Amino acid sequence: MINPIRAWRTQKQIKHLLGKSGKIITWTTIYVTTPDFKKQAPYPVVLVEYIDGERAYGPLVNYGDCDLSIGKEVFGVLRIVRKGNSDEIIEYGIKFKPKA
């Protein structure tokens, strides 16, 4: 179940990551996952570190195999993070895209 109020609070905290560039400091590809993410598996998740020291987790999108590496530069984009049945709110959030 996606909690709309929690998603609303989260949005305020992560909005500033849109378009912000950082480097991948570690990553993994999730194969065995929870019911919410089952449809997307397998999917890569990265941990990004910014110059100002901030760090953020997020899925990686629009990537080639060579983009999944420590040190790769990525930036935050807006994507659907979770979508349930038609009665639930759609959760939008940050995912990361490799810099060209």
Partner 1 sequence: MWGRDPQEIKKSLHITEKAVAAADEDAVTMAYQSAAMALDGTSINKEEIGCMFFGSESFPYAVKPAATIVAEWLGIGHHYLAYDTQFACKAGTGALISALAMVGAGKITYGLVCAGDKGTARPQDLLEYTAGSGANAWLVGDKEVILEVIATYSFSSDTPDFWRGIKSDYPSYTGRFTGQPAYFHHVGTAAKNLMAKQALTPNDFAYAVFHMPNGKFPLQVGLSLGFSEKQVTPSLVVNQLGNSYSASSLMGLAAVLDEAKAGDKILFVSYGSGAGSDAFIFQVTRHLKKQRKSLKKQIQQKKYINYPTYLKYMDIIHEGSL
Partner 2 sequence: MRTKVIGYYNSKFGELWNKSLADLIDEAIAGVLQSVRLARADIDAVFFGNMLGGILENSLFNSALIAQIMETTVPVYRLEAACASGGLAFQTATNYLKSNKNKTVLVLGAEKMTDVSVERATEALTAASAAEEQIAGLTFPGLYAMMAQVYLHQYRYDEEHLAYISVKNHYHGSLNEKAQFRKTITVDKVLASPYVAYPLKILSSSAISDGAAALILTNDPVRVKSSRSAVDVLSSEVATDCLAIKNRDSLTELYATQVAAEKAFCEAKIKRNRIDVAEVHDCFSIAEILAMEDIGFWKRGEGGKKAKEMSTQLGTNQRLVVNTSGGLKAAGHPVGATGVKQIGELFLQLTKQAKSRLVKNAHFALAHNVGGAGGMAVVSILAV
User: Which residues bind to partner 2, rule: CB under 8 A?
Assistant: 10, 25-38, 40, 42-43, 45, 47, 55-59, 70, 81, 93
Residue of 43, 47, 49 lying closest to 62 (CA atoms) = 43
The sign of the dihedral angle between the CA atoms of 17, 24, 96, 21 is positive
Give 64 or 100: the residue with its C-beta nearer to partner 2: 64
Query: CB of residue 83 vs partner 2: minimum separation in angstroms?
Result: 13
Among the listed ranges 21-29, 38-46, 49-57, 65-73, the one in contact with partner 1 (CB under 8 A) is: 38-46
Give 29 or 99: the residue with its C-beta nearer to partner 2: 29
CA dist list (Å): 96 to 28, 31, 39, 41: 14, 19, 19, 17
